[in-house]
Copies of this chain bind each other. A is one copy, B any other.
Amino acid sequence: MNTTRCLITQLEVQAFIEKCMVAVGTKPGHARSLAEVLVEGDRRGHYSHGLNRMDMYVKDVQSGICEKDGEPVIVKESAATALVNGQNLLGPVVGNFCMDLAIRKAREVGIGWVVANGSNHFGIAGFYSMQALKDNMIGMSFTNTSPLQMPTRAKECTLGTNPISVAAPANGGDSFVLDMATSAVALGKVELHHRRGEKIPEGWGCDSKGKLNTDPGKVLNGGGLVPIGGSEETGGYKGYGLAMMVEVFCGILAGAQYSKHVRTWKVTDRVANLGQCFVAINPANFAPDFNDRMSDLLTLHRDLEPAEAESPVLVAGDLERSSIERCATLGGISYHVNVVNHMNSVAEQFGVTPLLPNNVPVPE
């Protein structure tokens, strides 16, 4: 049994985050939207984008660097496109608004392509792409982020981890859900190795001279993340190109901040003005029986004989599905006690009832 982790029900975490956000003045509907995205991040096993980040959002609203009230505004619109001003509201408020709009357009004309400026961190990109699954559509979402990634041949970070998410529905609620940073790994993975005093694999990060380095300390201090593909020789320029593609869809198309003009990670000296892009595509506008082919594609891959018997072939989204099933089996989300204690200390300042880890022991 694991004494460093504890179980908390989804409902309790959801209510806790909502209350903390409302306590600093966030409009209740906005607080709910944020809580939903963070809880979904945790359920899917992406702890770096869940409760763990609540204090950042609390601080952003408390300091006034992010707006606590208002609604996003449509600046320009066609049957299939829209430009939205996120009004510096919480990222999930902007994301939900834009994704709803994209889905409505896709219902009418087969596709909706909506970009937003004036946004903030929106949690896991997959939350928005997956909204389209409810309408049996393909969903996509992209966001730019603070510079953390070094272009191939460079020694300065000019691009964020700029994630790409694509979700596509199959039969019976099954789906393909790609949700990936365009850097080889997320910053959190490098930080984790650093805390544990472990080296990182070659191809995750560079030192301040732009050279691949397996010392996480060098990557975190003056270095940066490497694009997917690693070195130039192994195709890192492709990851660099994809990160820039995301920037084109986000900061450039939306007229938001972009590239190295985006504020430094964790430095909130000015509004973020992030650019984001949300797309819905309606398979009904294309060839019939889309879901059947999707199911065949997914099954065909899951049924492949694996190279190592103990590591089955997966499709994008399968690991997250297992994480959600585990939460259901355990009856809650398994958190590290340090995270819970830290968030409780944040909540205490506002008189919010602390999270009460239940007594079910969490298996290793």
> Top 8 A-B pairs ranked by shortest CB distance?
A255-B287, A210-B307, A81-B110, A80-B80, A178-B241, A203-B234, A241-B316, A78-B110
> In the complex, are the beta carbons of B300 and A253 less than 8 A apart?
no
CA gap between A81 and B117 in the complex, in Å = 26
> In the complex, are the beta carbons of A252 and B294 less than 8 A apart?
yes
Most chain B Cβ neighbours within 10 Å, of A115, A155, A286:
A286
Of residues 198 through 228 on chain A, the ones whose CB sits less than 8 Å from some CB of chain B are 201-204, 209-211, 228
> In the complex, are the beta carbons of B168 and A293 less than 8 A apart?
no
> In the complex, are the beta carbons of A248 and B313 less than 8 A apart?
no
- Residue of B110, B115, B154, B166 touching A313 (CB-CB under 8 A): B154
> In the complex, are the beta carbons of B168 and A311 less than 8 A apart?
no
Extra 6 A-B pairs, beta carbons < 8 Å, given A76-B285, A176-B245: A115-B286, A152-B313, A153-B311, A155-B307, A202-B234, A253-B290
Residues of A within 8 A of B (CB): 76, 78-81, 83, 109-111, 113, 115, 117, 138, 151-156, 158, 164, 166, 168, 176, 178, 180, 184-185, 201-204, 209-211, 228-230, 233-235, 237-242, 244-245, 247-248, 251-256, 258-260, 281-283, 285-290, 293-294, 297, 300-301, 304-308, 311-316
> In the complex, are the beta carbons of B286 and A83 less than 8 A apart?
yes
Q: How far is the CB of A174 from chain B (nearest CB, A)?
A: 13
> In the complex, are the beta carbons of B184 and A78 less than 8 A apart?
no
> In the complex, are the beta carbons of B259 and A178 less than 8 A apart?
no
Given contacts A154-B306, A293-B258, A307-B155, contact A230 B234 (CB under 8 A): yes
The count of identical subunits is 2
Q: How far is the CB of A112 from chain B (nearest CB, A)?
A: 9
Q: How far is the CB of A110 from chain B (nearest CB, A)?
A: 4
Most chain B Cβ neighbours within 10 Å, of A151, A155, A248, A305:
A248
